[in-house]
Chain A
Amino acid sequence: MTAAAAALTVSDVTVYYGTRLLLDRVGLAVQPDEVVCLLGPSGSGKSTLLQVIAGLQVPASGWIRWYDEDMTAVPTHRRGFGLVFQDPLLFPHLDVGGNVAYGLRAAGMPRAEAAGRVEDLLALVDLPGCARRRAATLSGGEAQRVALARALAPHPRLLLLDEPFGALDRELRDRLAVDVRALLHRLGTPAIHVTHDIVEAQLVGDRVVRLSDLTGGGGAPV
C-alpha cells in the first residue's frame, strides 16, 4: 500500500479538546473503492477524526490529502466528502424528497431533474415512492436510510459514516450493515465507517482498523 495509490491520506492529525490531547498524530490511508471500518471505544475521538476529514473541525496540526491534492484548507462544501451522522438529522422543514434532493440542488441541478434522481436514490435504499412523506413520519431505520440516500445523492468521492446504525436495534443494524456494504461496492465509493461494534465492523468493512493503532504516528503513510 503506497501513498500514491491511496485515494485519501490522513497524516499526523492532532486535535485537542480543551487542553486534553484527543487525537495524537493520527494517520490513515484509504484505497479507491475500499471500505475501512474504524473501531474504537466511545469518546476515543473517532467522530472527531471524521469531522476533521470532512472539514468540519480544524486540526491543531496534520493534513488531509485526496490523491495528490491537499484538502486541509479546502472548505467542507468543496471537498465532496459525504457524511452520515449517528442521528439521521433529516431537515425537519423539508419532506423526504426535499432532503434527498438537497445536495443535488446545491450542485445546481434543476428541480425536475433532481426529482427524478431522488426516485432512483430512494429505490436504491429500498424506500421507493416515499418522496412526499414528511421526515417526522419515518421510523428510525427508514430515516437513517433516507439520510444515507441524501448523502449519496451528490455522488460524494468519499463517504464518511459515523456510527450510522448506533441508534437502531441489533437485528435492523445487521441487516442495514449488509445492505450498506453491498451498496458501497456497487457504487465503487470508498468509505470510512466508524463504529464501536466489532460484529458490525466485520460485516461492513473490507479492512478493520483500530483508532489506537493509527495514533502516535504509527498508522501514517506519510
Chain B
Amino acid sequence: MRPETPTAVSRPLPAWLLAIVPLAFLALFFGWPVVRIIARGLSSESLQVLSRPETWRVIGFTFGQAVLSTVLTLLVGLPGAYVLNRYAFPGRRLLLAVATVPFVLPTVVVGLAFRALLPAAWVGTLGAILVAHVFFNYAVVVRVVGSLWAHLDPRYEQAARTLGASPWRVLRTVTWPLLRPAVLAAAALVFLFTFTSFGVVLVLGGPTTVTLEVEIYQRTAQLLDLAGASALAVLQIAGLGLVLLVSASLQSRLAVGQKLRADPTETLVRPRRPGQRLLLVGVLATILVLLVAPMAALVLRSVRVDGGWGLDWWRALDSIDAGTTRYAPPLASLRVSLTYAVVTAVLAVLIGGLAAMAVAYARRGARLLDTAVTLPLGTSAVTVGFGLLITFAQAPLDLRGSWIMVPLGHTLIAVPLVLRTVLPVLRSVDPRLRQVAGSLGAGPLRAWSTVDLPLLSRALGIAAGFAFAVSLGEFGATAFLARSDAPTLPVQIVRLLGRPGDQPYGAAMALATVLMVVTAVVMLSTERLRGGHAGQM
C-alpha cells in the first residue's frame, strides 16, 4: 500500500533543500563534463575523426558485438531462467546464487578469468569477448526474466492446454507474450552493458576487436588525441540515448497487465519426463562450464608455476618492482582500492541518500530528479572518466593528479544504485508515523530522525556495501583518473598483464583472485544484510 502524499507536517525538510547537494554534485561533476565533451567533440577538428574509415569499423564492431552478445546471452540464459525458477530440485537456491556471482565481479577479473581458462589462441578474438559477455550477463537474464517467470500464474498455460494447445503452441502463444516485456528489459540491459563494455574487451581483445570505449581510451591515453576521443564520446552518448529511447518505448508498448502469483515456490515442477531432465542437466552443465570453470581457472592459474604448483606469484605480489621507483608493489594497490572504496561509500550514501529523500518527498519534479541522478549509470564509465579528465585538468578547478578524482568518478556511478536501494524503503515508511511523532511534540527533523532513520539504517548499510563493491571493481572511469603512483587493484592488474614475462602474468592472476575474493565477500555480506531476499537489480 502506497502511503498518501506527504504533507508539510510530515516532511523533515523541503524537497528542494534536500535536492541542492545532489543536483550541485551532479551538475558539477557530470553535467559540466558532458557539456565539455559535446562542445569539444563537435568542433571541426574533432569531427575529422568521423571521416576516417577505421572509425566506422570501430562503430560497426561495437554495435555488432553487442548485438551478438545480447542474442547469445538470451539463448544461453533463457533456459537457465526457466529451470532455476520453475523446476524443483535440490540445490536450486544455491545455484541461483552461484549464477548471480559473475555479474557482481569486476570486469577486469572476468577478463583475467577467461585469459586463464581459454586457450592462448583465443585471446584477441571476438569469440573470447562474446563468451566473457555471456558469462558476465547470464545473471541479468536469469534474474530479470526469471523473477517474472517464477511469478507467472501457471493457470494461463493450463487454460491454453485445456483449449487444445500443444506444449510448443502454449510456449509460443501464451508464455512468450507474457514474458516478452521482461525478455526485452533484460535484452536492453545486456545490450547496454556490452555496448559499453571496456574492461573485458581491453583484457581479452586484440587489434581487430576495438570497441568505441577502447578507442576513446587509446586515443586519450596513448595517442593524446583528445579531440578525436571527444567526437567518439559524443557518438557514444548519442548511441546510448537512442538505445534507451527505443527500449523504453518498446517496453511500454508490449507491457501486459497480468495476474502474478505471490508464492512462486508453491508450483515448482519436479522434472520427471526425459525432456525435462535433459534440460535440467543442460543448465547445470552450462553453469558449471560457463560460470564456475572460469573462476576456478583464475585461482588455479595463480598457483601454476613452471608446470608445477607453487605460491611464487603470490609472494611476488609484495616484492615485484621492489627497488624501482616506478610503481608501488602490487599489494599496495589493495590499500589504495580500499581507501577509495570507503570514501566512495561515504560520498555515495550521503549524496544518494539526500537524492532519495528529495525524490520521495518532492511534490513535483520527482521523476525528473530521479532520471537526472540515474543518468551517469546510463552513460558509460569511460565517458564519466574522460569527461572528468578533460574538465578538471584546467582552471578554474584543476584537480589533475589529485587522488579525489577517482572516488568522485566512482561516486557518480554508485549514486544511482544507492538511490534505487534507499528509495523503495523510504517510500514504504508510512508518513503517518511521522505525524504521530509530531503530535507527541517532536519537530519535523526530530520526527524524521527518530522514525524514518532507524527504519532506513539497514537500506543505507546495503547501499554502502554496493557503493563499496562498485568502487573496488570500477575500471572504465578509473583508467582515466588513477594516478600512476597510486593504481587501484583493477588498474594494477591490467598493468601487470601488459608487462612481459611469466612473473607479472602470474602476479596479475593472483591479484585478480584477491580482487575477486574481496568483492565476493563484500557482496555476500551486503546480501546477508538484505536478509536473504533477492531484490531488484
A91 touches B164 (CB 8 A): no
The listed residue (B161, B163, B169, B257) touching A56 by CB distance below 8 A is: B161
Knowing A83-B159, A89-B155, A136-B257 touch, does A77 contact B166 (C-beta < 8 A)? yes
Among A3-11, A102-110, A170-178, the one that faces the other chain is: A102-110
| CB-defined contacts of A107 to chain B, threshold 8 Å | 164
B164 touches A154 (CB 8 A): yes
Among B172-180, B442-450, B520-528, the one that faces the other chain is: B172-180
Whether A145 is near chain B, meaning CB under 8 Å from some CB there, is: no
B257 touches A83 (CB 8 A): no
A106 touches B159 (CB 8 A): no
| CB-defined contacts of B159 to chain A, threshold 8 Å | 83, 85, 89, 91, 150
Whether B324 is near chain A, meaning CB under 8 Å from some CB there, is: no
Give A81 to B159 CA distance when docked, in angstroms.
11
| CB-defined contacts of B166 to chain A, threshold 8 Å | 77, 106
Knowing A85-B155, A85-B159, A102-B173 touch, does A92 contact B257 (C-beta < 8 A)? yes
B162 touches A87 (CB 8 A): no
B256 touches A93 (CB 8 A): yes
| CB-defined contacts of A75 to chain B, threshold 8 Å | 161, 167
Interface of B is mostly: helix
Interface residues of A in 55-94 (CB under 8 A from B): 55-56, 75-83, 85, 87, 89, 91-93
CB distance from B323 to the nearest CB of A (A): 68
The listed residue (B161, B257, B259) touching A87 by CB distance below 8 A is: B259
Whether A151 is near chain B, meaning CB under 8 Å from some CB there, is: yes
| CB-defined contacts of A156 to chain B, threshold 8 Å | 162
Fill in one digit per residue for B40-67: 1 if any A CB lies within 8 Å of its CB, else 0.
Answer: 0000000000000000000000000000
Report the number of A-B residue pairs with Cβ-Cβ less than 8 Å. Answer: 76
Interface residues of B in 235-268 (CB under 8 A from A): 256-259
Whether A54 is near chain B, meaning CB under 8 Å from some CB there, is: yes
B169 touches A151 (CB 8 A): no
Fill in one digit per residue for B159-195: 1 if any A CB lies within 8 Å of its CB, else 0.
Answer: 1111111110110011001100000000000000000
Knowing A92-B257, A102-B173 touch, does A76 contact B161 (C-beta < 8 A)? yes
CB distance from A155 to the nearest CB of B (A): 10
| CB-defined contacts of B177 to chain A, threshold 8 Å | 91, 93
Whether B7 is near chain A, meaning CB under 8 Å from some CB there, is: no
CB distance from B151 to the nearest CB of A (A): 14
Whether B158 is near chain A, meaning CB under 8 Å from some CB there, is: yes
| CB-defined contacts of B32 to chain A, threshold 8 Å | none
A106 touches B163 (CB 8 A): yes
Knowing A85-B155, A92-B256, A93-B256 touch, does A154 contact B178 (C-beta < 8 A)? no
Task: Name the residue on B nearest A150 (C-beta).
Answer: B163
A91 touches B174 (CB 8 A): yes
A92 touches B258 (CB 8 A): yes
Whether B153 is near chain A, meaning CB under 8 Å from some CB there, is: yes
Knowing A102-B173, A106-B169, A136-B257 touch, does A89 contact B156 (C-beta < 8 A)? yes
B156 touches A91 (CB 8 A): yes
Give A190 to B404 CA distance when docked, in angstroms.
78
Give A81 to B162 CA distance when docked, in angstroms.
6
| CB-defined contacts of A76 to chain B, threshold 8 Å | 158, 161-162
| CB-defined contacts of A83 to chain B, threshold 8 Å | 158-159, 162
| CB-defined contacts of A151 to chain B, threshold 8 Å | 162-163
Give A54 to B161 CA distance when docked, in angstroms.
9
B259 touches A103 (CB 8 A): no
CB distance from A5 to the nearest CB of B (A): 25
The listed residue (B163, B165, B169, B259) touching A82 by CB distance below 8 A is: B163
Task: Name the residue on A nearest B164 (C-beta).
Answer: A106
| CB-defined contacts of B162 to chain A, threshold 8 Å | 54, 56, 76-77, 79, 81-83, 151, 156, 160
CB distance from A104 to the nearest CB of B (A): 9
B174 touches A103 (CB 8 A): no
Task: Name the residue on A nearest B165 (C-beta).
Answer: A106
CB distance from A177 to the nearest CB of B (A): 21
CB distance from B177 to the nearest CB of A (A): 4
Give A150 to B257 CA distance when docked, in angstroms.
20
Give A13 to B289 CA distance when docked, in angstroms.
44
Give A55 to B161 CA distance when docked, in angstroms.
9
CB distance from A161 to the nearest CB of B (A): 12
Give A56 to B167 CA distance when docked, in angstroms.
12
Knowing A87-B259, A91-B174, A93-B177 touch, does A80 contact B158 (C-beta < 8 A)? no
A87 touches B155 (CB 8 A): yes
Which residues of A are in contact with B by a Cβ distance under 8 Å? 54-56, 75-83, 85, 87, 89, 91-93, 102-103, 106-107, 136, 150-151, 153-154, 156, 160
Known: A93-B256, A156-B162. 17 other contacts (CB 8 A): A54-B162, A56-B162, A76-B161, A77-B164, A79-B162, A80-B164, A81-B162, A83-B158, A85-B159, A89-B155, A91-B156, A93-B177, A102-B163, A103-B165, A106-B165, A106-B169, A150-B159
